[in-house]
Amino acid sequence: MKTLSFVRLLCVWALLFLSMNAEQKADSIFDLSADNVSAKDEEVIAEGNAFLLYGDVYMVAHKIIYNKQTKYVYLRGGAKIYQGDILYLDVEQADIDMQTKQVKVENIYLQSTMGIWVMAKDSQGQDGVYSFKRGVISGCDVVYPLWHLNVSSGTYNTQKGYMSVWNPRFYIGAVPIFYLPYFVAPTGNVRKSGLLSPEMSYSNKQGFMYSQPLFIAPFNPWDMTLSPQIRTERGAGAAVEFRFADSDNSIATFQMRYFQNNDEYMLLNNLKNQDIYGGTFNYQTQNVITGENNQYVNDGFYADITYMNDLEYMRLKSLNASFNTRLYESRVNYYLNSSKHYFGTYLKYYLDLSKVSNKDTFQVLPQVHYHYYTDSLFFKNLLYTFDFQSKHITRPSGYGYWQNTMSLPIGVVLPLFNDYISVGANVDMYGTSVLLQNAQGLVDSQNVALDNAINYAVGSYNISLNSDLARPYKHFFHSLHLEAIFSGALYKYTSDAIADDRYEAYN
């Protein structure tokens, strides 16, 4: 009996396939199957765990009837329609025109890729666009949703991923909150241009404050947000934020803000600037030069740059933003790193907004850092490392300086008595040089002229004897480190400006 049913199923399926193949495109996928399949006149009837695969659409129901002449599919009992792995329709029954892809259903259940669902009394759809009446929309539990919308009618576009509804009434639980005559919202996880949630607040000094962001996303690599705002007792302004993603999905952000204070607010609060403006650029990425697949060398770039003419630029970021630091730091960093070498360059620019002008504010433009990681010299136990840093501290008005610093420690460690005791000796060499710029007439406490170059160098030695004792216990591990160190100075050099007798004179 099982063999006969299987043969009959194959015959019916073959007959259906031949008729479909004659009338449909050769690349269309059509597969109808069930526990029991029979044919009567122009209809193929599939009952019991019936499923129909058509293209990328997958349909299941207790009973599926396909009319070969009219190209209609009738889903009866527990009908569900999937596209990919997403459930789009969950209804009791549905009538589908396979030629026009028009769907007619009652008591429809639609669900988006983001989990937003719609339940409606009457609905019909075509090419992934469904219109419905008397619907309920939510993204929470179906039986007891935390929030939901009651709408008179609406349209759900599964292809473009948005839903538009008429007369939506928003509920929290069973309590109505607000009403809108018309509402449009995205239903997928793809960015869509449109209005974002507005921001509203009230201040006794600035009055009623309102900001309405507009999100614009025309292309995948970039988007932007426009945010005009008004403060009834102060003035009006706008902000724009532009975001761009590079090939490694690192995000670069550029912001600009502008706000104009009205005359009354200026006089009442004794403000310095009527027009407030500025800009911020932020970007961080890796493998700029070395490439992503380089196993030996990597590099990275970081930028956080801000310019503003007033501290209010930071407070205008949102309606109730606060910013109390008068000094703001902008940075641009780059590093290149390998198993042996490290190179970095850092630029720092400071804005002191408590000053009328920043001409006398120190800036680090730039700082260079090179480091050679610990390595052996001549033989295994003789180790050394090297570090060099150079800083250029400058400003348009007043003195600045170059500072170069070098550190070179060299040491040897010899284990004795089967590693019970270690004897070590090392020499540390350190030197720094400061060259003052735009500095004239430097004198000490005794009114003696000083040079613009200040140098300091020192060499020291350390001799150590140490031992490590360790023992594991059931619930913990105990260790004891014993060490004796003898150290002293080998060499010291100082310029006249920082000589010992100068310090004694100051004291």
467 with 332, same domain: the answer is yes
Mind listing the pLDDT tens digit for each residue in 351-382? 988 888 889 999 999 999 999 999 999 988 99
Contact 237, 245 (CB under 8 A): no
Find the helix or strand (DSSP H, E) in which 139 lies: none
User: Which residues of the chain have a pLDDT value below 70?
Assistant: 1-29, 84-88, 444-445, 503, 505-507
Range of the domain at 159: 2-186
Among left, alpha and beta (phi > 0; psi -120 to 50; other), residue 380 is: alpha
Give strand pairing partners of 159.
none
Question: Of 186, 211, 241, at which residue does a domain stop?
Answer: 186
- Strand blocks (E) in 139-234: 147-157, 162-166, 169-172, 175-179, 182-186, 194-195, 199-203, 207-211, 214-216, 222-231
Q: Please report the sign of the dihedral spanned by the C-alpha atoms of residue 431, residue 434, residue 435, residue 440.
A: negative
Tell whether 173 is covered by a domain.
Answer: yes
295 with 417, same domain: the answer is yes
163 with 290, same domain: the answer is no
Question: Of 134, 168, 186, at which residue does a domain stop?
Answer: 186
Q: What is the CATH number of the domain that holds 42?
A: 2.60.450.10
178 with 266, same domain: the answer is no
pLDDT score at 3? 40
Contact 34, 76 (CB under 8 A): no
Tell whether 196 is covered by a domain.
Answer: no
pLDDT score at 15? 39
pLDDT score at 136? 92
Question: Of 186, 203, 220, at which residue does a domain stop?
Answer: 186
pLDDT score at 11? 39
pLDDT score at 424? 95
Per the structure, the count of domains in the chain is 2
Joined tokens for residue 65: 């009837």
